[in-house]
Amino acid sequence: MLVRMTDRGIVVDAASVDAASPGRSVDADTPPEDVAAAGLPSAEPLVIRFASAGDGRGFTLARLLRTRWSYTGALRASGAIQVDQLFFLRRCGFDEFELPAQVDAETVRASLLRFQAAYQPVVNDPAVLRDWSSGGPE
Amino acid sequence: MYRYDSVDQAIVDQRVAEFRDQTERYLRGELSEDAFRPLRLLNGLYYQRYAPMLRIAVPYGVVSAGQVRTLAHVARIYDRGVGHVTTRQNLQLNHPRVEDVPDILAELARVEMHAIQTSGNCVRNVTTDPMAGVAPDEIADPRPYCELIRQWATLHPEFLHLPRKFKIAVSGAVHDRATVRVHDVGLRIVENEVGERGFEVWAGGGLGRLPILSQRVRAFLPEAELLTYLEALLRVYNREGRRDNKHKARIKVLVKARGIEDFREAVEREYRQGRDTRLRLDPARIEAVHQAFAPPAYADEAVDDDSIPLEAPKAFSEGQRRRWRYWLERNVSAHRVRGYRAVYIALKGVERPPGDVTADELERVADWAERYSFGEVRTTYQQNLVLPDVRRRDLPALFEELESAGLAEPTIGLLTDPICCPGFDYCSLANAHSIPVARALQERFADLDHVYDLGDLRLNISGCMNACGHHHTAQIGLLGVEKQGRSWYQIQIGGADGDAPALGKVLGPAVPAEDVVPAVERVVEHYLAQRREGESFRSTFQRIGLGSFRDALAEHA
Ligand code: SF4
């Protein structure tokens, strides 16, 4: 299943991922410098493959590509990711997610929309965000 | 005390809803054991040896009377009426049912509490000095900074899957009561030459299999940069910490392998490159959080109290008078405001597993906090409680109440105030029992005059080399080891926490359980025989050395 964040909202495509554009693919533990040096794609998605759901390097990689290298194309998480991580992956800059076919679409939506507030300015921040750089109310 | 605003409350409430959904999917069989594991761990839910355990966060050890009542309530309704104070100042329930945990978290959320990130490979509960805000030697109150770090670290999307757990401690005083040198990151509040406030940043300390003291990364970090700098440091660790071997995954291994110079350079480079200015703390934001911890309304007339002699209650027997005097000496601590004192409640004693507190006791503590201490309670890393703001003239009345409730053990900082991990009674990783050893020592050293004579003497117990009982930083540390399927104990001596931390040294071959108490006795006797007038265990050890203790023990072998 391929889940995409689009202008029209969350699009869940039950078709197998092979049918979608495969894009360029890197492992989650690749240093962002190396990914950037090899050239960032402009049309196809950049796919970050997680060998394990607990590999936090993929989260840093996504955030840095978005912020330090200003990557604006599609960024897809694939591999061992879990549906309960979607909100946090999205926060780090991912906007496409490959998930096993049996995952329930409602669970996907619930996970992506789980929190309406956050403390950290990162990439895709929810509407209510803690403001650290002023003394005023949120 | 800090009160939640709408952002804090929304995040905690939505977290409860998320975990309720995850738990329901797990119970329906939609989430496997393996898939549920990291989700429950990030919410403080462990599966231990015999039952699940829920670790409730007590951020930097500060809790209100109302929150203490809720803790009593959940301990009574959802567990067996007992809570357990941990070395990260949290409170554990040792037998909740998994299906009840979402309800427990919902009850906690109603009083601005949670169990977020009390386990798992993420930033854990930030700890601090239990005397924060009341210590006479304080440079600045560390609690506002702990709260800022708590918020920043909570559900930080980039740092929920670190190589391993990450523990931060903050000290705001001249003397370190937060053990900053044995933390992944330790922060000490300092002022620079021109009187600006900032932090001295230490990294790479820890106990466990590789006990090591942290090294200094930065002498002065301006307070506005607290979160931007932590973010850079965490990113270096997240990217470069080892993930191939969980015993080598803590930041201390990275700092040691790279060397402090190289590690510092990596952090500074990341800090210069990657700073998100939105995380820079505005002075008004810092001030607002400081306001949340503004001092309570101390009575002006209390300043005159200090000159009035404190009398023991008239009805006291001679034995009670002696306990009262000891209690004043050990459990009552200086306060920055004249006429006030901070009072320790020891959760130790023959009948009490170290750190345990019953629901009934928690309710009484809440009452005392309201009547005597402006409604606030602290937990300590030594697994005790503190009432931080007690008027000095109330001490006799408070002592009487504590005494009648069995909570006036006058033993803070003495041999019978051990830090002790749960060990074999609860923990699946244990090699040995810890709690029964603590009990045996309590029985042997029940004579108050004797433990008083020994003076400051920390004895800590860990059931395995993970060192949750901080045995390395005790003057006498006991470590459970397994030998041919049986529990033995290694004895280490000479460790210390505080301003001049040190790691204990192994005294000799491990001893079987029945020989632990006699071995501790011999160590103590040797100290008594060797000490000079007024000399502490630690000073004596530093003067005569490990060899002298070894020889003394060998003579008896
Ligand atoms: S020191 Fe070992 S036995 Fe004790 S709680 Fe920690 S892991 Fe368990």
Task: Please list every protein residue whose CB sits less than 6 Å from any atom of ligand 1.
Answer: B 421-423, 427, 429-430, 462-464, 466-469
Q: What was the pLDDT predicted at A136?
A: 55
| Same domain, yes or no: B25 and B81 | yes
Does B485 share its domain with B513? yes
Determine which of A29, A129, A130 to mutate to test the interface with B (most B C-beta atoms within 10 Å). Answer: A130
* Contact at CB, A119 and B155, closer than 8 angstroms: yes
Annotate A33-70 with b (16+ C-beta within 10 A) or e (fewer).
eebeeeebbeeebbbbbbeebbbbbbbbbbbbbbeeee
- Return the C-alpha torsion angle B326, B329, B335, B336, nearest 10: 170
Q: Which helix (H) or strand (E) holds B345?
A: strand B340-345
The verdict on B328 and B465 lying in the same domain is: no
* B25 part of contact set with chain A, CB < 8 Å: yes
Q: Is residue A138 part of a domain?
A: no
Does the residue B413 lie in any domain?
A: no
Same domain, B397 and B443: no
Token pair, residue A72, equals 């604006």
- Could you say which residues from 132 to 161 on chain B have a Cβ atom under 8 Å away from some Cβ of chain A? 151-152, 154-161
Per-residue pLDDT of chain B (557 residues; tens, 9 = 90+): 999 999 999 999 999 999 999 999 999 999 999 999 999 999 999 998 888 999 999 999 999 999 999 999 999 999 999 999 999 999 999 999 999 999 999 999 999 999 999 999 999 999 999 999 999 999 999 999 999 999 999 999 999 999 999 999 999 999 999 999 999 999 999 999 999 999 999 999 999 999 999 999 999 999 999 999 999 999 999 999 999 999 999 999 999 999 999 999 999 999 999 778 899 999 999 999 999 999 999 999 998 888 888 888 888 889 899 999 999 999 999 999 999 999 999 999 999 999 999 999 999 999 999 999 999 999 999 999 999 999 999 999 999 999 999 999 999 999 999 999 999 988 989 999 999 999 999 999 999 999 999 999 999 999 999 999 999 999 999 999 998 888 999 999 999 999 999 999 999 999 999 999 999 999 999 999 999 999 999 999 999 999 999 999 887 66
B390 and B325 inside one domain: yes
d(CA B434, CA B423): 5
3-state class (DSSP) for residue B489: strand
- Which residues in chain B touch residue A135, judged by CB atoms under 8 angstroms apart? 282-285, 287-288
Nearest-by-Cβ selection for B239 from A53, A54, A60: A60
Residue B418, domain member (yes or no): no
What domain range includes position A84? 2-133
**One domain for residues B287 and B151:** yes
Claim to verify: residue B41 and residue B71 sit in the same structural domain: yes
Nearest CA in chain A to B7: A117
Instruction: Give a yes or no: residue B280 inside a domain.
Output: yes
Q: Which helix (H) or strand (E) holds B377?
A: strand B376-379
Residues B258 and B360 in one domain: no
- Residue owning the nearest CA to atom 2 of ligand 1: B464
- Of A91, A121, A134, Cβ closest to residue B285: A134
Q: What pairs with residue B47 in β-bridges?
A: B52
In the reported structure, the alpha carbon of residue B338 is separated from the centroid of ligand 1 by a whole-number distance in angstroms of 42
b/e map B104-131, b = 16+ CB within 10 Å: bbebbbebbbbbbbbbbbbbbbbbbbbb
In a domain, B297, yes or no: no
- On whether residue A51 sits in a domain, the answer given is yes
Say if residue B197 is in the same domain as residue B319. Answer: no
- Rounded CA separation B141/B189 (Å): 9
Q: Which residues contact B351 (CB under 8 A, 6 or more apart)?
A: none
Residue B95 CB coordination number (10 Å): 15
CATH number for the domain harbouring residue B433: 3.30.413.10
Among residues B51, B80, B109, the one where a domain terminates is B109
pTM over 0.95: yes
What are the CA-CA distances from residue B350 to residues A37, B406, B417 (Å)?
A: 65, 11, 11
Q: What share of chain B is helix, strand, coil (3-state, %, to 5)?
A: 45, 20, 40
Chain A residues inside the 8 Å CB shell of B147: none
pLDDT at A43: 85
* Angle, in degrees to the nearest 10, between helices B516-530 and B537-556: 120
Identify the three-state secondary structure at position A34. helix
A138–B156 CB contact, under 8 Å: no
For residue A30, tell me if it sits in a domain: yes
Q: How many domains does chain A have?
A: 1
Evaluate the CA torsion angle B422, B424, B429, B431 in order and state its sign: positive
Angle, to 10 degrees, between the axis of helix B251-258 and the axis of helix B226-240?
A: 80
**A100-132, pLDDT tens digit by residue?**
998 999 999 999 999 999 999 999 999 899 999
Residues B280 and B132 in one domain: yes
For residue B58, the distance in angstroms to the closest alpha carbon of chain A comes to 19
Identify all chain B residues contacting A80, using CB atoms and an 8 Å cutoff: none
> Is there a single domain that holds both residue B149 and residue B284?
yes
Range of the domain at B34: 6-109
The domain boundary residue, chosen from B256, B291, B326: B291
A16 and chain B: CB distance < 8 Å anywhere?
no
Task: Tell me the C-alpha to C-alpha distance, in Å, between residue B13 and each of B73, B103, B355.
Answer: 19, 12, 29
Query: How far away is chain A from the Cα of B538, in angstroms, using its nearest Cα?
Result: 43
Contact A91 B157 (CB under 8 A): yes
Residue A12 resides in a domain: yes
ipTM, 2 dp: 0.96
| Number of alpha carbons in the 13 Å side-chain half-sphere of residue A61 | 27
Is B417 domain-assigned?
A: no
Quick one: pLDDT at residue B349?
95
Size of interface A-B (CB pairs under 8 A): 121
Residue window 212-271, chain B: list those with CB within 8 Å of chain A. 227, 235, 238-239, 243
Domains of chain B: total: 4
- Give the contacts of B312 (CB within 8 A, at least 6 positions apart): B320, B321, B324, B325, B396
- Final residue before a domain boundary, out of B341, B371, B404: B404
Q: Are B273 and B330 found together in one domain? A: no
Which positions 400-459 of B are in contact with A (Cβ < 8 Å)? none
In a domain, B356, yes or no: yes
- Rounded distance from Cα B39 to ligand 1 centre (Å): 22
